[in-house]
Structure 1
Amino acid sequence: MGDTYFRTTNYHFSDLDSQAQNAYVRTLTEQARANSACLRFDVLRKDQPPEQWVLHESWRDSQSCKNFHASAQAQALQQARVEQSLCHPAPQTAADKPAAARPACKKSKWDPYIWISIAMCIGVMGTALASPLYPLYQDRWDLNASHITQLYVAYMAAGLTGLLFLGRLSDLKGFMPVLRTGLILVTSGVTLSAFAWDVGSFVFSRIMIGMASSMIVTSASIGLGQVNRGGDVQRAAATTSLMLAFGFGLGPVVGGLIAQWIPNPLFSSYIPSMLLGVLAIYALFQIKPPANKQPLPQEKSSWRTWMPRLTLPATHLRRPYLIGCLSACCAFAMFSLFASLAPSFMAQMVPWHGPATSGLSIGIILFLSSGFQLLIRRWPAKRSVIVGLLAFTLACIALLINLWASSSLLFILCVLLTAFGHGLCMYGGMSIVQRVSPPHQRAGLTSTYLITGYLGAILPILGLGWLADHLGLDQGLVLFCSLIAIAALTVAIIAYLTPVLHKPAAT
């Protein structure tokens, strides 16, 4: 992994018109990606200054990069570019006229990067909204602990199914149609949750939300990488993990506060998410990504295209990629513990009760996770993952001790450690995914990363619900925390022994 060669180069094509620029870049990209030594070759247009392109490429080694750019194919393309500009000079356009001859352009208020980030936040806000409401549903429909975990797992299983079967949809159709569809679906699911009349209707609404969440997270993370003007994959990764944490936290906090003090909580709690969902849908239909940011044409789709498929990066990048996936698995498992059963086990640990308390405990974890991500945004991915996994180990130990101590301070320490570990693991894991993903595999690798995380949320929580019914909640928590602590410590040791994945070098 250590000898992987990264390079960033800026190009200026003032001698070619826009169509010729696109043709040249497309041909050069196809030639590079046909080379087995090429791990990434992504050429993006920069809006400022005009006629500028930025090339992000990574190769197995520096010599492979030099050989390609010195090859006859690359030189022939360069010569063709020069000849075309001499034989077919670009016609004068409005952009070539003096500034005084044309009116000043107004900057569009629908900035794609900002609104895609907001849409991701609003979309995932509705997914965790029901967590503080589970005790109310439990009383309304006479459910036990295993039923609550099954309701939570129904949503996670739907999200996992969406990732398995729809993970490559953004590669085939473009991220924007998928993101719009996901926002429409999640808003419809939240609306159905507000009107749910029995367990069956509520489960169906959670399935809709789960499917939508997988579409939103995958397409929005890809979209942020494509519309990012600077071409900085680290910025796109940081924005993705930050918006996910903030959005997931906003839902239970708003829902819990409304449910605590406003009448008809199982309806009124969903109103903010419904209204914001309509706003996000409208905004997404007002923006359009530049044509050159659309995905390259893919092979003709067939039924095989939609079959479940896990994507892995190049062989020498798999170990860090899998470490990133396993760190996300631990983060999802720890968060799911609070999101599904926090109202149940908090009753014996803290003196405060009600939807607002459980919603705030869940939201605080994710808000603090967002804050910690901002504080450590310049940390290397390896350090973030190792420290985050060690924080999970300590959080599990603190939670086990508090089963007997019943200390509010110790519970707060557990929440802080969980938030710290969640923020670092999600940031480090997403950074690794962005770094090892060539453009044509980005959707598949992001989906595989999220699939691993969803499995971490589904399997341990199902087991905990079963143990809570048969052995008691305390015994279930002992086994759950012990296994998570061992798993997190093991992955941290493996990450420590793994060579550093170097950052791209700018030239």
Structure 2
Amino acid sequence: MSNRWRDVAAGLFAVAWGANQFVSMIVAYRIHRGISTATNDGLFGSYAVALIIALLLGGPAADLWGRRVVVRPAVVTSLLATVLLMAGQDSVPLLYAGRVAAGLASGAIFAAGTAWVKELSASSSAAGARRAALALTLGFGLGPLVTGIVAQWAPDPLVLAYVPHLLIAAAALPLVWRAPETVVPEPGGPSFAARLRVPAAGQRRFLRVVAPAAPWVFGAPSVAFAVLPSLVSDHLHGYAVVFSAVMAATTLGTGVLVQPFARRLDGPGRLDAMLLGLAATVVGTLVGVLAAVHGNPLLALVATVPLGAGYGMGLVSGLLETQRLAAADELAGLTAVYYALTYVGFALPLLLAELDGLAGYPVLLLGVAGLALLSLLAVLSARGVQPGVLRSESAAELK
């Protein structure tokens, strides 16, 4: 039983690969099919919207009906999403369908799968959070790297680049199917509608510590591999696809390397890893400003190291803090709320693209660094806050 968490981690890895493989393909579609920036942004946004909806529904569903009910279909849907993307090389509607399906798969599995890995990790809940974060990060990083390499040099890149994920998802399916269930539905418990409220999300510590830091978990890497590559593309001499893949891989590879360090810094009442992650995000964004000013690919690549560190430390510390605040019967639900907040960060490239007409990217990235610094200060000022429920206290004050 102690090693059965690996079966679920394989599903997390496969779905994360399928979710992030599209990062490298954005450039490939622009080169080979002339897809506009607006369409690319729409494909990016449709994935995020579907993911957040599936997160907020899938987490409570997994707490109520069990992990298998949510995780198994998610892996199947991830595989189907890739089939749709392969079929959509000449069809934008099929690309949208594939991205929506990928978002639904990701949202369904990220919270439920993370909770499941934690419950199957006999050693400790902290080990469970680290294992889930590692599986996700490896998938997020290897997906765009392998896909980008295939898309850069293989024939028929808009189809063949997706084949690795088909094989990985197919291999993960039997592993997920054999994983033991950890949730036994209790008759007469809270309804699904009641579970959607996730009371633990109203805790003061969640609102004042976890929530301000959460968007930077994916905000930091989105700057690294969704913003910076396009700002230095004029100096890449035909290697934009593989450079985008390398940017994603180095960002998320750094995230993998710092996760054990983040775990050692973590503990009840300690926010060292979270604060260091936010500080690294500020530094990485400032390096990104220099890359944007000079159009320098090397500086852009350097920026991936602190931005990746911000991602890795933020993800582990945020998951551990969330798991400490969650009751056993709402672990997946609160984890879903946490992931939904992290994915707000993926809106950052879209927001910057919309604001580009008002100010150039160097100025906008300076603003991003300033916002990350404000989040750091907010978390620092709230580090002594206890978990009490904010709504209850507010109601008491009104009396």
TM-score by length of 2: 0.88
2:277 corresponds to = 388
Distance 1:245 1:332 in 2: 11
Distance 1:303 1:229 in 2: 28
Conserved in 2, the CA contact under 8 Å of 1:349 and 1:403?
Answer: no
Q: 1:134 aligns with which of 9, 20, 26?
A: 26
Q: 1:365 aligns with which of 225, 236, 251?
A: 251
Q: 2:366 aligns with which of 478, 482, 489?
A: 482
- State yes or no: 1:353 paired with 2:242: no
Distance 2:16 2:131 in 1: 14
Q: Structure 1 pair 417/166, CA: closer, same or farther in 2 (3 Å)?
A: same
Distance 1:193 1:378 in 2: 40
Unaligned runs of 5+ in 2: 387-399
Distance 1:311 1:457 in 2: 26
Distance 1:221 1:164 in 2: 14
Distance 2:104 2:208 in 1: 24
Give 1:322 deviation, angstroms: 4.2
Q: Structure 1 pair 410/351, CA: closer, same or farther in 2 (3 Å)?
A: farther
* Paired letter, 2:355: L
Q: 2:305 aligns with which of 413, 416, 433?
A: 416
Give 1:328 deviation, angstroms: 2.4
- SS of the counterpart of 2:200? coil
2:355 corresponds to = 467
Q: Structure 1 pair 454/311, CA: closer, same or farther in 2 (3 Å)?
A: farther
**CA offsets 1:254-301 (integer angstroms, 9 cap, x no match):** 100111111111111111101111111122223333xxx324516478
Distance 1:160 1:311 in 2: 18
* Paired letter, 1:136: A
Distance 1:161 1:313 in 2: 17
Q: 2:226 aligns with which of 340, 349, 358?
A: 340
Distance 1:207 1:129 in 2: 14
Q: Structure 1 pair 246/325, CA: closer, same or farther in 2 (3 Å)?
A: farther
* Paired letter, 1:181: P
Conserved in 2, the CA contact under 8 Å of 1:148 and 1:340?
Answer: no
1:185 corresponds to = 77
Distance 1:148 1:185 in 2: 22
Distance 1:349 1:398 in 2: 17
Distance 1:461 1:140 in 2: 22
Distance 1:448 1:364 in 2: 28
Q: 1:329 aligns with which of 205, 215, 224?
A: 215
Unaligned runs of 5+ in 1: 1-46, 49-110, 503-507
Length, aligned pairs only: 382
Query: Identity rate of aligned residues, in percent?
Result: 21
1:208 corresponds to = 101
1:158 corresponds to = 50
Distance 1:203 1:157 in 2: 12
Between structures 1 and 2, the one with greater helix share: 2
1:287 corresponds to = 179
TM-score by length of 1: 0.70
Conserved in 1, the CA contact under 8 Å of 2:152 and 2:239?
Answer: no
Q: Structure 1 pair 309/477, CA: closer, same or farther in 2 (3 Å)?
A: farther
Conserved in 1, the CA contact under 8 Å of 2:215 and 2:345?
Answer: yes
Conserved in 2, the CA contact under 8 Å of 1:330 and 1:484?
Answer: no
- SS of the counterpart of 1:378? helix
Name which one, 1 or 2, has greater alpha-carbon Rg. 1
Q: Structure 1 pair 499/322, CA: closer, same or farther in 2 (3 Å)?
A: closer
Between structures 1 and 2, the one with greater strand share: 1
